[in-house]
Structure 1
């Protein structure tokens, strides 16, 4: 293990929780951690001696409070009073039993907002792998109240109570932790999201990473969630890069153990694996996973985590230039439950970062891993500010059609906001058919509908290449639809790209 960061030497030791009835906190807790601030109440739990009394005391300049509980089935659990953001605090756990008095302390504890970061390899990419890595890594000491924690990569055939291993205990940001390797230590998207949130909100932020590259959504979903989409638990659900992923194995080992903690919300970057597996079901499995996580975290925290906690996600970027496959466009659409935008009636209290304009053909880790993670995190942060924190006047969605009208040989698209448009002959396409159902047929021919005119929030397309009725319209429906930050339609300030869509057209 020579050369490993000292923190990782500490973290790689497996937890045999409850072994010998040791009095301690559960594996998720540690010095330097962030607990959820008011109005929610943080939950603490751990292991002890049956029938013993455990007293938890929060010691700080602003507030001292205590709670006493009895150990049952070798578990103790305390729900703290609501705490204002700030710190540091010392949390002291004292067990009194026939064996005597035992004390365990957590030092330098802050109260702020706790966000869970999940997904696959694009969430795993570290600051070492992003654009301007050196600059990002040199700035870390400016954010001592943004703290990070990483669950180790583990699978289980049954739901676990505690994390079997911890890869990174709670720690302050440093170049060694956030830039210690490729696809390891800590997520760049998660870190940048937390950092941008701190810059906006000025409260401590706790970031919990639980993700694994090459994984399908089914591995992160409970059996009950998958059953709502008609999926049973097979022996091997998905094979990728030599690994076999059974359904639920990551839910069991890397999400279920976290359910007792109180969180503010979650962000998610996943879907590439599902372009090859159960692609057509993602419009069910992804929303079902969100619903199930919300229910489970709410119940696990004793009602402290919101039953509709905010959930942000990244709509897939690009993979293969000049690809004719519909896999990535279809998955992007299914990520929104086939609405094209978020939040929507099926996916309430969600927010989405569009990233199809961030293609990176020169990425050393393959074009499926674009390096422009600052843009991804910035777009996620805008969504969190608007949806999770209710900030007024924060634009977080790109333009989306409010109305599509066919007038002769032209289509008028009225957008939800003012737009900045670059004329394109290829971005928009129409399906020409007497049946509006035909546009869902992947083999059906689509023809280009060039942009011929624009105004503040209207784009006019020509349909003169359509020899039949115009049944449907689609936008950016390609794996790699445009060059870097150069898609045809953005918000008027050019901050946010329009999301892709496929919608019917009525005369």
Structure 2
């Protein structure tokens, strides 16, 4: 059961940081089996020690850097190291106490941070073919995992208060651990798929918590930009019937993100939004993009400029929750996840990528329909985005079709897409048109379900039903919580892999 950190635990964590000045150690993030960021970036390494002491770091005798302990903290930056599956030893020595610590089996590769709420916290042991997935763990020893423990804090912590999974090689036990509170399936699958492309070590840092709003993961300065300071949010639990949890703004930023800012990372992936479907929903088009901006700034500053200021950020557009329900907020959150552009990257959300998940509903999930068991498709679509956006790989299709314009033609509406499509002719209400004399479309009763009547290589035609041409204002697509059966939305990319995301579009008149 999710609980808040007690005041005594906070005091204990604070006392532990203060006493660290007398204890020579690495910060909690470092350990045996870890992955550090590869060249051309430089990996930041830090820890605690005795004030005034000199600390020397040696990397397998190949390079040596030194620093001084100031206010109980030492910190330095290694010279760039190329990606390598050959392990290194990292030794830190403090002169005053004649102390040394050696970390072994250290690899250099790309670090990805994975965060969000329960669909990110969903473990490999919960996916639909968990037995087969877990059996593959030993085949990927160079995909290393680390997980922050579930902790809240009213103040920004210097170091993680606790660690759930220290840096480790993957095992079935670690990947299939406690439901919703052990290692993430989306994070692991993303790393595993990415490794198969890159062929060098991947470090996965998991820091997520089920049932959490974006406000809990955001700094005060980010929330201030959206007018969301001092929010207190009571979330209905998706795990326990009738249970609810209270979240305060910034408590997870303080405890589970801020301690990681010194890390040099490649990028981040995010799966969250369900908890904002009915909480500050109309502000999510501000709060989510601003959180991304703020994380980028903070990681860039915290790493001394080693983490790029515009590091790539991938996210999952919400899947489904309730059938025949247009009032649960999912359709609006999907739209707001893109800053109301409908696709990513876009002008407001540069260097981002999005995995569309609206076509992978799961009515039979034992964890509730809000938690689909198919995390493989989600992770695969994220990896396509990472390959194209983060790694600049050419000719990688990572976005489903998106409309360029819609025109009224002879009692039909022609919707033209930005790429070749596969489409079905169907009358299942996937498309709706706004039929409004006063040209306003806010009310659902002004939207009429219309049929796809024909389609071509990059367009579809939909009917105008009984709406006079003069009253037709806009068209929208997949504008319900649960519009499609599993992988059966009507419009996909030409390879059949990527669905067109939901959209709303004004109609041109000829």
TM-score by length of 2: 0.94
1:153-198 deviations in whole A, cap 9, x for unaligned?
Answer: 0111111111011111000000000012311220000000000000
CA distance in 1, matches of 2:17, 2:104: 21
CA distance in 2, matches of 1:289, 1:51: 37
Residue 193 of structure 1 aligns to a residue whose secondary structure is helix
1:182-201 equivalent positions in 2, closer than 5 A: 182-201=179-198
1:154 aligns to 2:151 (yes or no): yes
Aligned match of 1:240: 236
Contact 1:155–1:249 (CA<8 Å) still a contact in 2? yes
For residues 66 and 302 of structure 1, do their structure 2 counterparts lie closer, same or farther at Cα, with a shift above 3 Å needed?
Answer: same
1:82-124 deviations in whole A, cap 9, x for unaligned?
Answer: 1100130000000001xx3100111100000000000000001
CA distance in 2, matches of 1:201, 1:243: 41
Contact 2:425–2:452 (CA<8 Å) still a contact in 1? yes
Aligned match of 1:27: 28
Aligned match of 2:80: 82
Contact 1:449–1:465 (CA<8 Å) still a contact in 2? no
Aligned match of 1:65: 63
Contact 2:405–2:507 (CA<8 Å) still a contact in 1? no
Aligned match of 1:166: 163
CA distance in 1, matches of 2:235, 2:448: 36
Aligned match of 1:10: none
Aligned match of 1:420: 422
Contact 1:216–1:238 (CA<8 Å) still a contact in 2? no
Deviation of the 1:231 alpha carbon: 1.4
Contact 2:405–2:508 (CA<8 Å) still a contact in 1? no
Deviation of the 1:49 alpha carbon: 0.7
Higher mean C-alpha deviation, range 21-30 or range 467-476: 467-476
Deviation of the 1:506 alpha carbon: 2.2
Higher mean C-alpha deviation, range 461-470 or range 30-39: 461-470
Residue 17 of structure 2 aligns to a residue whose secondary structure is coil
CA distance in 2, matches of 1:225, 1:168: 29
Contact 1:42–1:81 (CA<8 Å) still a contact in 2? yes
CA distance in 1, matches of 2:326, 2:29: 45
Residue in structure 1 matching 2:329, options 309, 327, 330:
327
Number of equivalences: 487
CA RMSD in angstroms, aligned pairs only:
1.3
Contact 2:28–2:159 (CA<8 Å) still a contact in 1? yes
Residue in structure 2 matching 1:119, options 116, 127, 145:
116
Aligned match of 1:219: 216
Residue 156 of structure 2 aligns to a residue whose secondary structure is coil
CA distance in 2, matches of 1:466, 1:206: 55
Unaligned runs of 5+ in 2: 1-11, 238-243
Contact 1:314–1:355 (CA<8 Å) still a contact in 2? yes
Aligned match of 1:450: 451
CA distance in 2, matches of 1:341, 1:414: 16
CA distance in 1, matches of 2:114, 2:466: 46
Aligned match of 1:6: none
Aligned match of 2:91: 92
Residue 307 of structure 1 aligns to a residue whose secondary structure is coil
Deviation of the 1:271 alpha carbon: 0.2
Aligned match of 2:131: 134
Contact 1:14–1:166 (CA<8 Å) still a contact in 2? no
1:212-361 equivalent positions in 2, closer than 5 A: 212-234=209-231, 236-241=232-237, 242-325=244-327, 327-361=329-363
1:431 aligns to 2:434 (yes or no): yes
Contact 1:326–1:477 (CA<8 Å) still a contact in 2? no
Contact 2:17–2:158 (CA<8 Å) still a contact in 1? no
Deviation of the 1:435 alpha carbon: 4.1
Aligned match of 1:9: none
Residue in structure 1 matching 2:203, options 200, 206, 209:
206
Aligned match of 2:6: none
1:348-385 deviations in whole A, cap 9, x for unaligned?
Answer: 00000000000000000000000110000000000000
CA distance in 2, matches of 1:143, 1:435: 60
Aligned match of 1:17: 17
CA distance in 1, matches of 2:77, 2:443: 53
Deviation of the 1:341 alpha carbon: 0.1
CA distance in 1, matches of 2:126, 2:418: 36
CA distance in 2, matches of 1:239, 1:274: 9
CA distance in 2, matches of 1:104, 1:217: 38
CA distance in 1, matches of 2:311, 2:290: 14
CA distance in 2, matches of 1:189, 1:239: 23
Residue 89 of structure 1 aligns to a residue whose secondary structure is strand
Residue 373 of structure 2 aligns to a residue whose secondary structure is coil
Deviation of the 1:238 alpha carbon: 3.4
1:121-171 deviations in whole A, cap 9, x for unaligned?
Answer: 000111111111111011111100000000000111111111011111000
Contact 1:448–1:465 (CA<8 Å) still a contact in 2? no
Deviation of the 1:427 alpha carbon: 0.5
Deviation of the 1:408 alpha carbon: 2.9
CA distance in 2, matches of 1:306, 1:81: 17
1:107 aligns to 2:104 (yes or no): yes
Residue 225 of structure 1 aligns to a residue whose secondary structure is helix
Aligned match of 2:3: none
